[in-house]
């Protein structure tokens, strides 16, 4: 492909922007919203698990779309469904109804990460894809700007975090994204006529790589890392609201803003240190996050909380993206795409699912009369991060070469901000 019209590039960039904004605008503050609704325990865990549950089913939906329908039409239908489901979810007061609607919404939403990447790559030169994909990151950060504007301009300087308003905002963004999808270039089903296989869709053939001890160790560590990772990603808003923070979406998204720039350092780290020590830096940052949160509680120094927020880009870029590059180099070409699908399934599906239930249980055990003692909660995640760092440093080996090409090797289907 030798280039693309400017209007196509603009539409593809807007597609990425809206697709990630519609999720971030409501998800970042979801735990705090559930707490304000009085939803705790297993109901909270299940509701906060709708994203990883959506990750588990998304490859199957994408497989069907790849073989039977034009991608932009599927994207339109899924975004319309999300708009309706987010709107209905915002009106619920019962935990079971909210769970059911958000689960259906995530079944529709999670496949769109792969679909938008497929549409962009089918209609843009490969060297232009990162420039289009970065608008997804910008959209995530824009959700914070939107929450500030909405709070100050529409709601009398009243924070919308912890309320149902972000879900309505997600519904509105999804509707705009659906209308935009109608204007996207036609992208016929790329695998039309090919045999459908759930095994291939889930990347399970890549499990053959588990025969390699080093790769198996990497998979296990990656899954377990998502347990402490999820405490901040899915439950962070509950903590910040409990500490009296306002405009939580904006504050937490400072980490994603910094991430945009820190990601530029990942190729340099891979070239200089290789995947092992690049990932180790990410795990070190994860440990620092929870020691900072614990220290902030112990010393009543709010600035420590901002350290935990701003370090997010190091965690995601160095460990998650560094790990994806390791998978890309480790897997044979014929199963490379499936291997990337497997690591997404393990991390953002299985790992986050385990992490949600584990962390909700820890928080429940540390809560008395509705007030959580967060210090032991953070210490558990800090210790777990240190142990995983030690295991990685002691047992994992740099057994791949040519690791400097991260920009083109990071898998397209992986969320910029998980």
Q: Would you say residue 197 lies in a domain?
A: no
Claim to verify: residue 15 and residue 139 sit in the same structural domain: yes
Q: What is the pLDDT of residue 221?
A: 97
Q: Would you say residue 194 lies in a domain?
A: no
Claim to verify: residue 184 and residue 234 sit in the same structural domain: no
Q: Which of 126, 161, 188 is the last residue of a domain?
A: 188
Check: CB of residue 14 under 8 Å from CB of residue 180: yes
Q: Would you say residue 20 lies in a domain?
A: yes
User: Residue 365: which CATH number?
Assistant: 1.20.1250.20
Claim to verify: residue 118 and residue 40 sit in the same structural domain: yes
* Ramachandran angles phi, psi of 416, nearest 5°: -65, -35
Q: Would you say residue 313 lies in a domain?
A: yes
Question: Sign of the C-alpha dihedral, residues 255, 257, 258, 263?
Answer: positive
Q: Would you say residue 416 lies in a domain?
A: yes
Claim to verify: residue 245 and residue 295 sit in the same structural domain: yes
CA dihedral 344, 345, 349, 354 (to 10 degrees): -100
Claim to verify: residue 168 and residue 219 sit in the same structural domain: no
Question: What is the Cα gyration radius of the chain?
Answer: 20
Q: Which of 188, 219, 240 is the last residue of a domain?
A: 188
Q: What is the pLDDT of residue 154?
A: 61
What is the SS3 assignment for 252-288?
HCHHHHHHHHHHHHHHHHHHHHHHHHHHHHHHHHHHH
Q: Which residues contact residue 398 at a Cβ distance below 8 angstroms, ignoring those fewer than 6 apart? A: 274, 275, 276, 277
Claim to verify: residue 346 and residue 244 sit in the same structural domain: yes
Claim to verify: residue 141 and residue 258 sit in the same structural domain: no
Domain count, the chain: 2
Q: Would you say residue 43 lies in a domain?
A: yes
Claim to verify: residue 156 and residue 267 sit in the same structural domain: no
Residues of the chain with pLDDT under 70: 1-3, 65-66, 126-127, 150-159, 190-198, 200-203, 337, 401-418
Range of the domain at 230: 202-418
CA dihedral 121, 127, 129, 134 (to 10 degrees): 170
Claim to verify: residue 271 and residue 166 sit in the same structural domain: no
Task: Give the containing element (helix H, strand E) for 367.
Answer: strand 367-368
CA atoms of 387 and 381, how far apart (whole Å): 10
Q: What is the DSSP string of 311-355?
A: THHHIIIIIIIHHHHHHHHHS-GGGHHHHHHHHHIIIIIIIHHHH
Q: What is the pLDDT of residue 138?
A: 87
Q: What is the pLDDT of residue 409?
A: 41
Claim to verify: residue 77 and residue 36 sit in the same structural domain: yes
Q: Which of 188, 212, 231 is the last residue of a domain?
A: 188
Q: Would you say residue 195 lies in a domain?
A: no
Q: What is the pLDDT of residue 126?
A: 67
Claim to verify: residue 211 and residue 343 sit in the same structural domain: yes
Q: Would you say residue 213 lies in a domain?
A: yes
Span 10-63, pLDDT tens digits: 999 999 999 999 998 899 889 989 999 999 889 999 999 999 998 888 777 777
Claim to verify: residue 179 and residue 209 sit in the same structural domain: no
| Cα of 352 vs its chain's centroid, Å | 10
């Amino acid at each position: 492909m030798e280039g693309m019209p400017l209007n196509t590039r603009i539409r593809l960039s807007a597609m990425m922007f809206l697709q990630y904004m519609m999720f971030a605008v409501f998800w970042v503050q979801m735990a705090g919203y559930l707490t304000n609704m009085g939803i705790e325990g297993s109901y909270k865990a299940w509701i906060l698990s709708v994203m990883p549950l959506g990750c588990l089913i998304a490859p199957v939906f994408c497989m069907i779309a790849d073989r039977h329908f034009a991608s932009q039409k599927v994207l339109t239908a899924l975004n319309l469904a999300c708009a309706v489901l987010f709107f209905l979810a915002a009106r619920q007061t019962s935990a079971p109804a909210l769970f059911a609607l958000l689960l259906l919404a995530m079944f529709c939403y999670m496949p769109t990460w792969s679909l938008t990447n497929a549409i962009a790559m089918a209609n843009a030169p490969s060297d232009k894809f990162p420039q289009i994909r970065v608008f997804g990151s910008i959209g995530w950060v824009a959700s914070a700007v939107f929450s500030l504007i909405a709070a100050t301009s529409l709601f009398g300087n009243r924070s919308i975090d912890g309320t149902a308003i972000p879900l309505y905002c997600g519904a509105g963004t999804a509707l705009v994204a659906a209308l935009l999808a109608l204007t996207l270039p036609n992208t016929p089903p790329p695998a039309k006529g090919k045999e459908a296989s759930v095994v291939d869709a889930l990347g399970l053939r890549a499990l053959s790589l588990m025969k390699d001890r080093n790769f198996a160790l990497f998979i296990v560590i990656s899954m377990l890392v998502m347990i402490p990772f999820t405490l901040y990603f899915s439950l962070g808003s509950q903590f910040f609201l409990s500490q009296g923070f306002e405009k939580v979406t904006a504050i937490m998204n400072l980490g994603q803003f910094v991430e945009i720039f820190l990601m530029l350092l990942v190729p340099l780290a891979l070239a200089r240190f290789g995947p092992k020590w690049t990932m180790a830096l990410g795990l070190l940052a994860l440990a620092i996050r929870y020691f900072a949160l614990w220290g902030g509680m112990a010393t009543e120094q709010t600035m420590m909380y901002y350290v935990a927020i701003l370090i997010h880009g190091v965690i995601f870029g160095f460990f998650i993206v560094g790990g994806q590059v390791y998978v890309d180099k480790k897997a044979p070409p014929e199963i490379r795409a499936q291997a990337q699908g497997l690591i997404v399934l393990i991390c953002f599906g299985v790992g986050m699912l385990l992490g949600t239930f584990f962390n909700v249980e820890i928080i429940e055990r540390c809560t008395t009369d509705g007030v959580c003692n967060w210090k032991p909660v953070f210490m558990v995640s800090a210790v777990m991060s240190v142990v995983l760092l030690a295991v990685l440093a002691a047992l994992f080996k740099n057994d791949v070469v040519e690791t400097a090409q991260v920009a083109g090797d990071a898998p397209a289907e992986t969320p910029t901000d998980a």
